Structure 1
Amino acid sequence: MYRSTYNNVLLRIMKTDERLLLEHYMERISLPLRMPLECRGQPIEFVYFPESGIATIVARIARGRDVEVGLIGFEGMTGAAAVFGDDCAAHECFMQMAGEGVRVPVAALRREVSRSPQLHNLFLRYAQSLYVQATYCALCNVRSKFEERLAQLLLRCHDRVPGGTLPLTHQALAVMLGVRRPVVTLGLHVLEGEGLIRANRGEIVIRDRERLIKRTRGGYDVPAREYRRLIGIDACPQGNTMFFIGPSKQ
């Protein structure tokens, strides 16, 4: 057996016999900053289950017009396309915050998923939650003011990082939000002036999470609620994370 406990939610909530199907293939791996996990138009070789850090899914078109359409942390996995039978990445996926995790070869994961309807169902439900996250990113990109989009992104990062400090630069936020760096700087100044955050060099400190949620005007709540509904994990009443990691199901 690879290990008895996991910080990754999907691995942790699997029943033991389901998890054993994958553990033979698991490899612990460091996930340094900017490490590519998927490359657009290229075959998906591994599915990654982060245990710390954040991966960002970035949609890209000509002339550097990139925008983040999904975040993956310890609550999820990369390679959702493989669950649907595809082996080609539609978008870029890389580490926006360094961490570590485990990876499984796509061929092995698909083989074991075909043997376990329960495992397949879990991954499909997670893929649905990722879809909801992407659709609300798209909605907010069109309908929300920039400060609301920025607040939503900071909250989604905050869900996936222990404590109240996010190691994010203005440039990283600019890439994720698909805007120029000065726009991010101005937006951070607005949120800081409202007492919601504190922006330091290379990091953002969340000062008032509840008011920051209200600042999104509904852009944050639905994806978080859908994750809880689909995966069956309740929100943690204490601390900064929407994910409560309970004991493994046996």
Structure 2
Amino acid sequence: MTKSFNPKKNHLLASLPDAEFQRWLPKLELFELSLGKVLYEPGVTLNYVYFPITAIVSLLYEMENGASAEIAVVGNEGLVGVSLFMGGGSTPSRAVVQSAGHGFRLSAAAMKDEFDRAGPVLHLLLRYTQALLTQMAQTAVCNRHHSLDKQLCRWLLLSMDRLEGNELVMTQELISNMLGVRREGVTEAATRLQVAGLIRYSRGRITVLDRPGLEKRTCECYAVVKNECDRLLPPILAK
């Protein structure tokens, strides 16, 4: 296994005690997360949980008319598929790769077995789930009460926290689907951020030029999500 695909580049896996990590290692399967790949659909029983290392996955709710909105993002800080070990087996949301890369996956049977062992793995996974639920709740509040500019800043910051580097490969159409707004609105918001010198947007690539500036421009929702993640999870997860 090459260094670039080291499972410990996923911070949740890196936070496992050594004995647990060594037990998991033979069960982890390297998996390509291509742009737009659907990891699970609403109501479908999950066969795997996924641990991204260089990709970002969006958790989305889709309405009957086809409209959708993102409820959370998952990257190298965590895992996709918490409903598997929380007892539900499936979820009404769908998981779609929003930024391509790689990750590792663990079978449903292996994940359930590890969770049922209790001990440090159970507590780590429950704390991660609480952090994820906080992100979902704060996203709902943000989408209801804050401007699109602030939502876009929050979304960019959360994405940057879950990737190495400062660049996202993402079209405005995809961003509009994630935020549940018109594409024209995303264009206007991105243009304002670019004029302010905070980002550079070109041909589906967004480069963050001034992260402190984004943090000043966003709403309190970003800090709430980050602080809760830092509080609940081991220090290695904090970026």
Query: Which of 125, 128, 150 is residue 127 of structure 2 equivalent to?
Result: 125
Shift of 1:89: 2.3
Secondary structure at the residue paired with 2:27?
coil
Alpha-carbon distance change, 50 to 183 in structure 1, aligned in 2, over 3 angstroms: same
Match of 2:32 in 1: 30
| Off by >6 Å, runs of 4+ in structure 1 | none
Instruction: Give the Cα separation in 1 of the matches to 2:172 and 2:153.
Output: 14
Match of 1:49 in 2: 51
Structure 2 gap ranges (5+): none
Segment of structure 1 superposing worse, 103-112 or 128-137: 103-112
Shift of 1:21: 3.4
Alpha-carbon distance change, 9 to 234 in structure 1, aligned in 2, over 3 angstroms: closer
Shift of 1:150: 0.7
2:137 is matched by which residue type in structure 1? T
Q: Is the contact between residue 15 and residue 234 of structure 2 (CA under 8 Å) also seen in structure 1?
A: no
Query: Which of 80, 83, 88 is residue 81 of structure 1 equivalent to?
Result: 83
Q: Is the contact between residue 28 and residue 103 of structure 1 (CA under 8 Å) also seen in structure 2?
A: yes
For residues 46-66 of structure 1, what are the alpha-carbon distances to aligned partners after superposition, in whole Å with 9 as ceiling and x for unaligned?
000111110000011121220
Q: TM-score, normalised by structure 1?
A: 0.90
Match of 1:231 in 2: 233
Q: TM-score, normalised by structure 2?
A: 0.94
Greater fraction of residues in helix: 2
Match of 2:118 in 1: 116
For residues 118-146 of structure 1, what are the alpha-carbon distances to aligned partners after superposition, in whole Å with 9 as ceiling and x for unaligned?
10110110011100111111010001011
Segment of structure 1 superposing worse, 194-203 or 67-76: 194-203
Match of 1:95 in 2: 97
Shift of 1:90: 2.2
How many residue pairs get aligned? The number is 237
Match of 2:73 in 1: 71
Instruction: Give the Cα separation in 2 of the matches to 1:83 and 1:126.
Output: 12
Match of 2:220 in 1: 218
Match of 1:209 in 2: 211
Secondary structure at the residue paired with 2:54?
coil
1:74 is matched by which residue type in structure 2? N
Match of 2:19 in 1: 17
Segment of structure 1 superposing worse, 90-99 or 111-120: 111-120
Instruction: Give the Cα separation in 2 of the matches to 1:99 and 1:8.
Output: 12
Match of 2:199 in 1: 197
Q: Is the contact between residue 154 and residue 219 of structure 2 (CA under 8 Å) also seen in structure 1?
A: no
Segment of structure 1 superposing worse, 72-81 or 85-94: 85-94
